[in-house]
Structure 1
Amino acid sequence: MQKKSFESLQEFEKNRDFEKIRAKLFTTPVPQQLFSFKRMLPFVAAACMIIALGGVWYYSQTNSSIPSAIQLSQMDRLPAQNRATVTFSDGRQFQLNEHESQVHMDKKGIHYDDGSAVAETQSAQFATIETPRGGVYDVILPDGTRVKLNAATTLRYPTVFAADKREVRVDGEAYFEVAKRKNQPFIVETANQQVSVLGTHFNVNTYGNKSEMKTTLQEGKVQVKELTSGKHIILLPGYQSLVNKGKLISRAVDVNQELAWVDGRFNFDGKSLFEVMDDLSRWYNVDVEYRGEIPDVEFFGGTYRTSKLSTILKILKDQNLHYHFTANGKLIIEKNGY
């Protein structure tokens, strides 16, 4: 057994020596490296970066009309969300919950639909609820009147209405469903007009500018008074009053089109580019700048207010207009080729 083991060991040693020789014969010698790639890697990366940046600069200069990936993401702005701030006359201020859409106001304070409190009135005599650009909110006033606030709108009201009248003030756009009280008229004041009702559904729009006010009646009857001249008219359903530069007129309108925003729609019928972009600017909270000569175009049709901004901006292409976003998110509109 020992001999066999020894012979086996000798055989193993012979085989091992043979394998060493074989390995030397069949191994390809590795040539000496002239340089180390790992050492050169930082320099290669830097060179690639310079080339890439140069390409981006050249592309941006020669293809400025094509939005970048960042610009494309900025185009898809979200539509208006539930955002508003309540400020009491004693200086207290509260941000309303974005997960709620409506608040109830009474002499004790403000609360949501589920009864959870926002704030107590305490000694405050007035309260102001304000929606920013890109924000909307619904309000139920102490008398039960429902008010729907559009974006960039302010509503000021007393925490307790007077015995002989219910008076509020609006700047922006708001739709009212006024609770009926025979001996306590509801009065809406704006910068240049006063709207008096007993119980009705109507819309007040002061967006145009401080000298232009529109009141559209959907149901009931209202009196509109121009404050400078004292002139007043009675509106019936389907009519709209217009106060502009001290003048007061009434005209028949398509109420469904005028109140499209209440139903969640944009109405662009008969509007200029600047009027359309004013609507979009408020709803999507985006600043707009015009460059070059912008054609005087008129739009028709509309779309849902839940649409992405980029979807609506496609209407500009039909008017030979180009748009893009700046680094700080401003929307630039210019004529193609400018």
Structure 2
Amino acid sequence: MRYLLLKRDIMNLTEEELLIRISTLIVQEMKGEQHAEDRLLIKKWLSESPENQAVYKRCFDQIMQKKAFESLQEFEKNRDFEKVRSKLFVRPVPQKAFQFKRLLPYVAAACLLIAFGSVWYYNQIGLKIPAENQLSQTDRLPAKNRAIVTFSDGRQFQLNERESEVFISNKGVHYDDGGEVAETQAAQFATIETPRGGIYDVILPDGTRVKLNAATTLRYPTVFATDKREVNVHGEAYFEVAKRKNQPFIVETANQQVSVLGTHFNVNTYGNKSDMRTTLLEGKVQVKELTSGKHIVLLPGYQSLVNKGKLTSRAVDVDQELAWVDGRFNFDGKSLFEVMDDLSRWYNVDVEYRGQMPDVEFFGGTYRTSKLSTILKILKDQNLHYHFTANGKLIIEKN
């Protein structure tokens, strides 16, 4: 299982045990030794509250601030720093420059102190995380659990922002704790839509798990046909398909069809109707371009691309392509406009460009829990500056 974590895995830990576990996982993540299941625990914990996100960020920053200067010095000695400075997004942190194993007990203690201190501080002074509308003219918070369910009979329901996943059955829509969202009145189609600045996880009637990125729509039948399981996607979604030998799972987009029996893959249709990518993590899928009828079979580590009616495939770095599933931005090889498109969806902000924008290529990335202003610091290296208008639009200008 790549990204979904059951609530009982969290609930079985005491608060102190959880904080120790989280701090340990942070160090393992920096060392590159973190297992997929452990990443799920951190992501689940982060989704619980803004306070948890603040604790994690402060703990992470405490380590990075202490080591970043040493790492940057080492980097400058071995590379021509000025040649890559215009492209540099994240500070280089070579693993060999860190001795995390020795730091672990101190990091754990520091994180515990930060965590308990933060809880006390919040309680003592009643500090509140700024609401989105309070930040709209100066900053934007990252996406949160937000989605709408719409049935073909016209009924519409807003999903709970305190929940991160929703279960679909032939009886209706409900949360993990059994709380009901809506009852299915008859066999029909329904959609779950995440807006810009929204994400949600969906468990379909057959047990297939779907993670919806921001600005994504998933259309599904409340009851699957006996011979196939078919859904429609616009936007970006990661699928962990439940295996059913005689009932293939089919994902349709504007111009392609992906057919599987049981596998893990990602579908991205953000670009437009003529630009769609399917990335395979495990198993096997068949991708068909609907206009020409051409099809190919993807193996793990490969990505299909439908562009202007042409269907091709290529080998890719799956971890980079699926960075969003693990809560990261990956900007490797992206232009300024592509980077800002990602940020626009994630932070629910309109972007306006004034003047000639530089033709540059970025590399690196950061965590999706960061505030928008933190990420926009990269613009300074391109002699760009930004500000928010009264209605929250982000203006980017050449200095």
Residue 324 of structure 1 and its aligned partner are, at CA, apart by 1.0
1:152 and 2:243 aligned: no
Distance 2:376 2:192 in 1: 31
Name the SS of the counterpart of 1:167 in structure 2.
strand
1:327 and 2:327 aligned: no
The verdict on how the C-alpha distance between 1:114 and 1:334 changes in structure 2, with shifts beyond 3 A counting, is same
- Could you tell me the TM-score, scaled by structure 1's length? 0.78
Stretches of structure 1 lacking an aligned partner (at least 5 in a row)? 1-69
* Mapping 1:93-112, distance limit 5 Å: 93-112=156-175
- Could you tell me the TM-score, scaled by structure 2's length? 0.66
Residue 76 of structure 1 and its aligned partner are, at CA, apart by 2.6
Match of 2:188 in 1: 125
Residue 211 of structure 1 and its aligned partner are, at CA, apart by 1.2
- Give the number of the structure whose alpha-carbon radius of gyration is greater: 1
The amino acid of 1:237's aligned partner reads P
Provide the alpha-carbon RMSD of the alignment: 1.3
Distance 2:374 2:384 in 1: 15
Name the SS of the counterpart of 1:75 in structure 2.
coil
Match of 1:175 in 2: 238
Name the SS of the counterpart of 1:329 in structure 2.
coil
Q: Which residue of the other structure, out of 141, 164, 171, is the alignment partner of 1:78?
A: 141
Q: Which residue of the other structure, out of 281, 286, 298, is the alignment partner of 1:235?
A: 298
Match of 1:3 in 2: none
Q: Which residue of the other structure, out of 322, 331, 334, is the alignment partner of 1:259?
A: 322
Distance 1:239 1:72 in 2: 40
Judge conservation of contact 1:88–1:124 (CA < 8 Å) in 2: no
1:244 and 2:307 aligned: yes
Q: Which residue of the other structure, out of 157, 162, 184, is the alignment partner of 2:247?
A: 184
* Mapping 1:277-292, distance limit 5 Å: 277-292=340-355
Distance 1:71 1:141 in 2: 36
Distance 1:96 1:306 in 2: 21
Distance 1:209 1:266 in 2: 21
Larger strand proportion of the pair: 1
Name the SS of the counterpart of 2:226 in structure 1.
coil
Match of 1:212 in 2: 275
Residue 301 of structure 1 and its aligned partner are, at CA, apart by 0.3
Residue 73 of structure 1 and its aligned partner are, at CA, apart by 6.7
Judge conservation of contact 2:255–2:290 (CA < 8 Å) in 1: yes
Q: Deviations over 1:209-264 (max 9, x none)?
A: 12110000000000000000000000000000000110000001000000000000
Residue 186 of structure 1 and its aligned partner are, at CA, apart by 0.2
Judge conservation of contact 1:75–1:309 (CA < 8 Å) in 2: no
The amino acid of 2:227's aligned partner reads D
Name the SS of the counterpart of 2:142 in structure 1.
coil
Q: More deviation in 290-299 or 224-233?
A: 290-299
Indicate the percent of aligned positions where both proteins have the same amino acid.
90
Judge conservation of contact 2:282–2:300 (CA < 8 Å) in 1: yes
Distance 2:384 2:222 in 1: 49
Larger helix proportion of the pair: 2
Match of 2:32 in 1: none
Name the SS of the counterpart of 1:223 in structure 2.
strand
Residue 74 of structure 1 and its aligned partner are, at CA, apart by 3.0
Judge conservation of contact 1:217–1:237 (CA < 8 Å) in 2: yes
Residue 75 of structure 1 and its aligned partner are, at CA, apart by 3.4
Judge conservation of contact 1:142–1:160 (CA < 8 Å) in 2: yes
Q: Which residue of the other structure, out of 375, 379, 387, is the alignment partner of 1:312?
A: 375
Judge conservation of contact 1:154–1:170 (CA < 8 Å) in 2: yes
Distance 1:71 1:142 in 2: 39
Aligned length: 267
* Mapping 1:296-311, distance limit 5 Å: 296-311=359-374
Q: Deviations over 1:168-187 (max 9, x none)?
A: 00000000000000000000
Name the SS of the counterpart of 2:137 in structure 1.
helix
Judge conservation of contact 2:137–2:389 (CA < 8 Å) in 1: no
Judge conservation of contact 2:137–2:391 (CA < 8 Å) in 1: no
1:272 and 2:370 aligned: no
Distance 1:255 1:208 in 2: 19
Distance 1:124 1:78 in 2: 38
1:203 and 2:251 aligned: no
Match of 1:38 in 2: none
Name the SS of the counterpart of 1:317 in structure 2.
helix
The amino acid of 1:115's aligned partner reads G
Stretches of structure 2 lacking an aligned partner (at least 5 in a row)? 1-132
The amino acid of 1:218's aligned partner reads L
Distance 2:139 2:280 in 1: 35
